[in-house]
Chains A and B, each alone.
Chain A
């Protein structure tokens, strides 16, 4: 038995608290993503097709999928801070399924060796990867702080999902500048950014949110 435990101490220590609010938990990551998108546009420039008001369909699809992936997983992360037995929140799985569209497309392109989509652009790709990861790291911070405040019960899953959400949202912010037009480039480098972010999340986040 813990010697220093007393219900009276807990009662005396009681102060009013505001219940955690899901919208509040999503607001800060949304602000950071918006700020990074604005930063990329102001410092690196908006994609020319977006600037001309005539975006390529592939780019719209990329943006939509990244936003869907990022939002669905961030929503799951924020929910994880408020545990409850029987509370299902599996919507993110469908978003991940949708996001797999790109790597699967890349695989098909690679196998069929469509010449116009090969090879992968390396230099711009590394730059894209770095920018995506920088935005992802910043986006992950409020989610980690939110989880630390709450009571997540599955720490490893919280780590994976935080990395996945941050990766998707960070890539979405960078996509406003990203000059790629080929499915192979988009698939390889964006997938690399999201997978890297997820792995880093899995490795680091559980240690930060243990309670």
Chain B
């Protein structure tokens, strides 16, 4: 079971004061939370890397947490930033292994729909979101994605590029 917002926030406040025990629990709990957050949003073999990168960002940027505000929206902003950054890298894996639309059971209870990655993707035009899921998340080639969506190959490339650029501007949107 993952700690709730209030507990995580208290742990983070103590961590900012240098409490190592609280920090250890916070990192462990946040790591588990991130595992669910990124579940089905990137290839399973890339999730561990993404969680680690996000935790390292948490560590480096821990003074950017405002103790008067909530913890989960803060870590979600960092997680989304790392996720988009990962998608923008030339990242490939075996295609067809994810069911993007099915979230893990209980995911929404823990994360909150407003700060989820699904929510972020719904803000994109449908055609851009579709090709990003296929090419960048599920790992299909441009040609395969073109066949699946009916978009020309050049349009797939343009939509992936534009969609990722737009995602990068909407990280903090809910």
B113 CB, nearest partner CB in chain A, Å: 11
Also in contact, A211 and B65, with CB within 8 A (given A14-B15, A87-B73) = no
For the complex, give the distance between the alpha carbons of A150 and B56 in Å.
Answer: 14
Also in contact, A85 and B173, with CB within 8 A (given A153-B80, A154-B168) = yes
| CB pair B27 A10 closer than 8 Å | yes
Q: 8 Å CB contacts to B: which residues of A41-87?
A: 81-87
Interface centre among A7, A11, A84, A86 (most CB of B within 10 A): A84
Selected contact of B56 from candidates A5, A84, A155, A156, CB within 8 Å: A5
A85 neighbours in B (Cβ, 8 Å): 73, 76-77, 80, 114-115, 171-174
The residue of chain A having its C-beta at the shortest distance from the C-beta of B114 within the complex is A86
A97 within 8 A of B: no
Of the listed stretches A16-24, A28-36, A161-169, A172-180, chain B binds: A16-24
Also in contact, A151 and B169, with CB within 8 A (given A2-B52, A86-B115) = no
| CB pair B77 A153 closer than 8 Å | yes
Selected contact of A211 from candidates B60, B70, B76, B77, CB within 8 Å: B60
B50 CB, nearest partner CB in chain A, Å: 10
Also in contact, A155 and B168, with CB within 8 A (given A2-B49, A84-B77, A86-B115) = yes
B127 neighbours in A (Cβ, 8 Å): none
| CB pair A83 B55 closer than 8 Å | no
For the complex, give the distance between the alpha carbons of A17 and B64 in Å.
Answer: 10
Interface bits B38-78 vs A (CB < 8 Å: 1, else 0): 00000000001100110111011111111101100110111
| CB pair B62 A17 closer than 8 Å | yes
| CB pair A17 B63 closer than 8 Å | yes
B16 within 8 A of A: yes
A109 CB, nearest partner CB in chain B, Å: 35
The residue of chain A having its C-beta at the shortest distance from the C-beta of B70 within the complex is A84
A79 CB, nearest partner CB in chain B, Å: 10
Selected contact of A86 from candidates B28, B60, B73, B168, CB within 8 Å: B73
Total number of A residues with any Cβ neighbor in B under 8 Å: 32
A15 within 8 A of B: yes
| CB pair A86 B174 closer than 8 Å | yes
A157 within 8 A of B: yes
Also in contact, A153 and B81, with CB within 8 A (given A10-B56, A13-B59, A84-B74) = yes
| CB pair B15 A83 closer than 8 Å | no
A20 neighbours in B (Cβ, 8 Å): 63-64, 66
B169 neighbours in A (Cβ, 8 Å): 154, 156-157
For the complex, give the distance between the alpha carbons of A84 and B71 in Å.
Answer: 8
B33 within 8 A of A: no
B107 within 8 A of A: no
For the complex, give the distance between the alpha carbons of A153 and B31 in Å.
Answer: 20
Q: 8 Å CB contacts to A: which residues of B155-174?
A: 168-174
A111 within 8 A of B: no
B119 CB, nearest partner CB in chain A, Å: 9
Interface bits A113-153 vs B (CB < 8 Å: 1, else 0): 00000000000000000000000000000000000011101
B62 neighbours in A (Cβ, 8 Å): 17
| CB pair A84 B61 closer than 8 Å | no
| CB pair A83 B77 closer than 8 Å | yes
Interface centre among A2, A18, A85, A153 (most CB of B within 10 A): A85
Q: B residues engaging A (CB < 8 A)? A: 15-18, 20, 23-24, 27-28, 31, 48-49, 52-53, 55-57, 59-67, 69-70, 73-74, 76-78, 80-81, 114-115, 168-174
Interface pairs (10), CB distance under 8 Å: A14-B20, A16-B17, A18-B16, A82-B64, A83-B64, A84-B66, A85-B73, A87-B73, A153-B78, A153-B80
